[in-house]
Structure 1
């Protein structure tokens, strides 16, 4: 069928929504929505595991280098500056564990609850999908019946045309065949005329079925549109929810907005800034250099 609109003049094909059963792409979208909820939860859980692993790696790295620095040759305020980097890692690790916790407890739970409230899954299918498919079937059933009649009338008309054409060719060939009797020619001519009558009748029936479809099209379009609109409303709800969820994910991941982050680097900077080479050099001189005390050799009397 074609979508009756003067400004659009859309030619329907096998891919058109209005064709039989092509509404199933729209009802499949309902089930796709359910699957997308599950996939989004998996995506978030995987990201949460990445955050957890990163936090663990920071802790492991901090512990390893803490021990190495303690045993190493660095000293004084510069050693403290080294350790400031490890403190930054420890605190950043805590921040990423917080991200992991927020993703799992807040966002994932939010999706899970919404999925449960909006999709009701049975052993076979999603309830909401079945309900919409049933409504589409009811809306399409009368039109499908008219279409079936039109397709049959079309096939009958084309078959009648083919038979009439074949009979006309036979009659034309027979008229130039001297071996054919007048009685035989008359019978063939009568057969051609009968087939022409059949063509006219089948054409009339074919045109009648097309008119019946044309007359019913507005009802069909309205009925299908009403069900389609319900599906669109369901999908609108999902799309808006997903947008809000993605904003929630953004909030979890955007550590630049966490007030503790600038404090971490402010203190890290302060620790580095406290490194004082003069103090360290003086400490070295006092403990390992020229400023150390010395028990100089003196004359010792034998007792």
Structure 2
């Protein structure tokens, strides 16, 4: 019987996207590489645990959950989290950033300076610029100030990010234009914490890193995998990737696979071109992907 694998998520290295597996093994991904796996008949998706510890109950979790954690493990995982605002004494310096995902879609956020651009790659930011750096609480206060004054959110659902990838502006200058305007407005605001050091606008573009720098938005996706199911399989050639998403050219067209849906399952090698898992189709209106059926 083929060995079963457990995925621990998509990581971003200097060379591009990498699938990580429980136990430490990694699979580097490149454009055109075939990604193929299946779920055994009778397979059950189980909780991945919290903060490096296995779920004590081995609880079953829904196929459509991107967290792959039971309620208790999800609570424990967020009990010591900067993103959840549950810690305030982290001594590390933090960056405040503006990230852009597509026309009319930008957000403000913070990330530890030592992490570099990793957080932006993980979020699927098509381009971004630093705004400033300083202590955690100063960065958090600046983030709140910009949210209120500029009306930009600190979170954007991945379904919205996917919907605009097919209509990205062609050039880096066009992609950076909206971000530059937001940066200028942010810098002009008063009441920034004194301990936060402002940084000039320097747009960093990830479109080529993500494989989205060809035709506008790269190869247009027709839908996204809704969930994995026992006995189902996914097979396709990698044409783009952004954040946790793989864009795969399958027998059903280009589909977006959120690799967070792979966690918690025991996965097996699969042959052929099967892609028989539930899919949500993208609806196109006036040439713009603006929602889901």
Q: TM-score, normalised by structure 2?
A: 0.17
Whichever of the two has the greater Rg, that structure is 1
Calculate the TM-score normalised by the size of structure 1: 0.17
